[in-house]
Amino acid sequence: MIAQILQWLMYPFLFLSMYFQVLLLTSFFESKRKIKGEEEYGVSVFPLVTVAVPCWNEEKTLSATLDSLLALDYPKNKLEIIVVDDGSKDHTAEVAYEYAKQHGDIIKVFSKENGGKHTAVNLALKNSTGDFFGCLDADSFVAPQTLKTIISYFEAYPKTMAVTPCIHIKSPKTFVQRMQAVEYLMGVFVRKAFGELDAIQVTPGPFSIFRKEVFSTIGEYRKAHNTEDLEITLRMHKAQLKIMNSHKALVYTVGPATAKGFFYQRLRWARGFLENSLDYKELFFKKKYGNFGMFTLPMAFVFLFYGLYAALFTVYSMGSYIYNLTNKWSIVGFHPQISIGLPHFDWFYLSTTVMAFIVMVMFSIFLLVIYISSTLSDDSQRLYFNFPIFFLIYPIFVPLFLGRAVIDTMLNRKNEWVLQDSKGSYQVANTVD
């Protein structure tokens, strides 16, 4: 009886998941010709673009980040890079000032006491002179064509206020990073489909570019539960400002190398989504906010809780399945094939329930999404090796960080920004409101 009740509770989640995935696929295929045409966009006039690089103890990656910006295929007299050292305790400032000496016509450096990423970006914003403004995290790197590709969208669509890039994990090495590589690859399709629905949920820190007038319209960055890029996206939707995605604007970011680092990063993201969504609950089910307010934001909020339930249900079902399978084997036994001496497969062991069928359909859609993402993006990775890692490991993390996020939000615990260094040790930033 308990198992049946748990299954019944899963059906709404499975139905909504399938509906959501079909909606995204429909949106994508209806816009496929337009999406293909976006790859032919060009830039006739190059506007001045300011890129902020907020840093907190980033001495090991800052040089590569700045090198990637300096290597952009974009007129150097139309590029302004502002590095803000947010009270680093290592040699980040020294690295930044050395680059400023060598490239003083492009790079400016500001140092300040630690106050959180939003304060660093706002300092760069106040000192920027560009018509467009973006941010690049100091552990992320841009491909040479990325900025030109993004600016082409602004030229093609004058009403566009922000453009998000296509983000991949840079050189994944550990199992945790390879798992993230598949997750980010899926995000290529999801972000593009959301863009076609005018429902992009986040303008990520790695190289989202805004028209400067956005900030005079809706204000500067806020701490926003340590997820300032999510909050400013909600604020843009509230102001009904258009956000697009460029699937060919490649950005690479360093994913957490350890399970602990990944857990804390996703915990911060999940809590940030929960708390910011509650702050902007007036957007829910409001027709004036389009697909974002009527569908994708409420759906994402519900999915967070249903995702937690689905993960726990999966653990319960796997345990029950193994227990029942063991009992069947003990009664029926194996049927060894005399010719090869291997266990004989019996359809008796194959689940034919409605839920099993739905899960197989959803898994097929998942594979289709992976395929579409890989064709959309120019990034190549060892998908055949990374996919099994994602499939086996990612479901273990989901109930952990989602469950902790819900509990921490209910108990109003502090949401800290945790930075992992290359050796796996952790530092907590002293952020202020």
The least confident of 143-152, 158-167, 332-341 is 332-341
Is 339 a domain residue? no
Q: With the C-alpha atoms ordered 142, 82, 220, 140, is the resulting torsion angle positive or negative?
A: positive
**pLDDT bucket at 362, cuts 50 / 70 / 90:** confident
Residue 401 located in a structural domain: no
In a domain, 335, yes or no: no
Is the predicted pLDDT of residue 61 greater than 90, yes or no?
Answer: yes
Do the domain assignments include residue 212?
Answer: yes
Cβ–Cβ under 8 Å, residues 179 and 394: yes
Instruction: Please tell me the predicted confidence (pLDDT) of residue 172.
Output: 92
pLDDT higher than 80, residue 397: yes
Q: What is the pLDDT of residue 338?
A: 44
Amino acid at position 164, single letter: T
Lowest model confidence (mean pLDDT) among 65-74, 80-89, 333-342: 333-342
For tokens 């899926």, name the residue. 186
- Residue 341: pLDDT band by 50, 70, 90 thresholds? very low
pLDDT band, very low/low/confident/very high, at 418 (cuts 50, 70, 90): low
Is 408 a member of any domain?
no
Residue 352 lies in a domain: no
Counted domains in the chain: 1
What mean pLDDT do residues 360-370 have?
87
Q: Helix (H, G, I), strand (E, B), or coil: what is residue 427?
A: strand
According to DSSP, the residues that pair with 245 across neighbouring strands are: 164
CA distance to 14, 181, 186, 361, 369, per residue, from 28 (Å): 21, 22, 14, 19, 11
**Residue 144 placed within a domain:** yes
Does residue 65 surpass a pLDDT of 50? yes
* Helix, coil or strand: residue 182: helix
pLDDT value at 342 more than 80: no
Task: Indicate which CATH number applies to the domain containing 232.
Answer: 3.90.550.10
| The pLDDT of residue 179 is above 60 | yes
Cβ-contact 172, 96 below 8 angstroms:
no
Q: Give the confidence band of 422 by pLDDT, cuts at 50, 70, 90.
A: very low
* pLDDT over 90 (residue 265): yes
Q: Is the pLDDT of residue 20 over 50?
A: yes
Choice between 315 and 363, residue whose per-residue pLDDT is larger = 363
- For residue 351, the model assigns a pLDDT of 56
E strands, 178-259, in order = 209-211, 242-253
Percentage, residues of the chain above pLDDT 70: 88
Q: What's the rounded mean pLDDT across residues 256-272? A: 93
Say how far apart CA 39 and CA 332 lie, in whole Å.
59
For position 35, what pLDDT does the model report?
A: 94
Would residue 104 count as lying in a domain? yes
Q: Which pLDDT score is estimated for 356?
A: 73
pLDDT at position 433, please? 41
How large is the average pLDDT for residues 213-223?
96
How much is the average pLDDT of 176-181? 94
For residues 333 and 263, which has the higher predicted lDDT (pLDDT)? 263
Q: What is the reported pLDDT for 306? A: 80
pLDDT at 419: 53
Mean pLDDT of the chain: 87
pLDDT at 77 over 80: yes
Residue-number span of the structural domain to which 234 is assigned:
21-298
- What mean pLDDT comes out for the span 369-385? 81
Q: Is residue 331 pLDDT above 90, yes or no?
A: no
Mean pLDDT value of segment 306-313: 78
423: pLDDT strictly greater than 60:
no
Once rounded to an integer, what is the mean pLDDT over residues 68-72?
Answer: 97
Q: Is the pLDDT of residue 425 over 60?
A: no
Mapped onto helix, strand or coil, the DSSP state of residue 346 is: coil
- Say which DSSP state 292 is in: I
Mean pLDDT of 386-396: 88
Residue in this structure with the two tokens 């993230």, named with its chain if needed: 180
Does residue 278 carry a pLDDT above 60? yes
* Residue 294 binned pLDDT confidence (cut-offs 50, 70, 90): very high
Average pLDDT for 310-315:
75
Is the pLDDT confidence value at 6 over 70?
no
Say yes or no to pLDDT of 252 above 60.
yes
Residue 379 CA to residue 387 CA, distance in Å, equals 15
DSSP 345: P
